[in-house]
Amino acid sequence: QLQLQESGPGLVKPSETLSLTCTVSGDSISSSNYFWGWIRQPPEKGLEWIGSIYYSGTTYYNPSLTSRVTISVDTSKNQFSLKLSSVTAADTAVYYCTRLVGALRWKNYMDVWGKGTTVTVSS
Amino acid sequence: QSVLTQPPSVSGAPGQRVTISCTGSSSNIGAGYDVHWYQQLPGTAPKLLIYVNTNRPSGVPDRFSGSKSGTSASLAISGLQAEDEADYYCQSYDSSLSGYVVFGGGTKLTVL
């Protein structure tokens, strides 16, 4: 059974870089029919897609975050990672990693989600 | 401001039928991109409820159904149960800019 687990610091200082890793177990991250992505949810707010990556390294990002976001994949560790630079309090959220079905990004939907990890931006 | 528009809240009594709308535009739903729905129970991660407009993953009761027409989509829940009380989100793809995944703002379903 596929499982996704987020890990990383729960507290990040303003202007620093938020770094999270998602470990995939139960399937290979190199499966050709899937993207892997990050979604976030600020307190008491809705879902926001951050970006997605294919096992080959192809990425696409939310236009509102693209200047600050980098998503990478490590197929040898079956992991993918998120880096969000120059964070502010507005980046405080629960961050979820997900598997997105579909090798074509316009057909992507999220069929498996991690439990989420809370990241607070504060000095 | 979400790209896809959902009502903030809906409610219904047990056993009733409710619908949640998801309104987009010509660059997302109206362009023919699929709509997917997620259920988020309090304090938990979202769960896929409907994919590719009308399809239910294994284990999702047939009380949940999806439809799509023009620039909008809808989620219908019949035979409302107390455990259906949750937040519901629609999701699609928008072709503007370089193309990206978009969500609705979410709808809180209250079972009276």
Query: Do B100 and A101 make contact, defined as CB atoms within 8 angstroms?
Result: no
pLDDT of residue B1: 84
Question: Predicted confidence band at B98 (pLDDT cuts at 50, 70, 90)?
Answer: confident
**Which residues of B fall within a CB distance of 8 Å from A110?**
36, 38, 46, 48, 91
A49 at the B interface (CB within 8 A)? yes
Residue-wise pLDDT for A45-61, tens only, equals: 999 999 999 999 999 99
Q: What is the pLDDT of residue A49?
A: 97
Residue among A17, A28, A1, A7 nearest A97 (CA): A7
Q: How far is CA A81 from CA A32, A37, A104, B87, in A?
A: 19, 9, 21, 27
Angstrom CA distances, B20 to A17, A32, A120, B9, B88, stand at 38, 34, 32, 9, 8
B106 vs A contacts (CB less than 8 Å): 46-47
The mean pLDDT value of chain B amounts to 97
Q: What is the mean pLDDT of residues A13-35?
A: 95
Looking at residue B83, what DSSP letter applies?
A: G
With beta carbons under 8 A apart, name residues in chain A contacting B47: 113
- Closest-CA distance, B34 to chain A, in angstroms, reads 7
Cβ–Cβ below 8 Å for B101 and A37: yes
Q: How far apart are CA A81 and CA A19, in angstroms?
A: 7
Q: Which of A46, A62, A116 sits opposite B45 (nearest CB)?
A: A116
Tell me the mean pLDDT in the region A16-44.
Answer: 96
Cβ within 8 Å, pair B45-A109: no
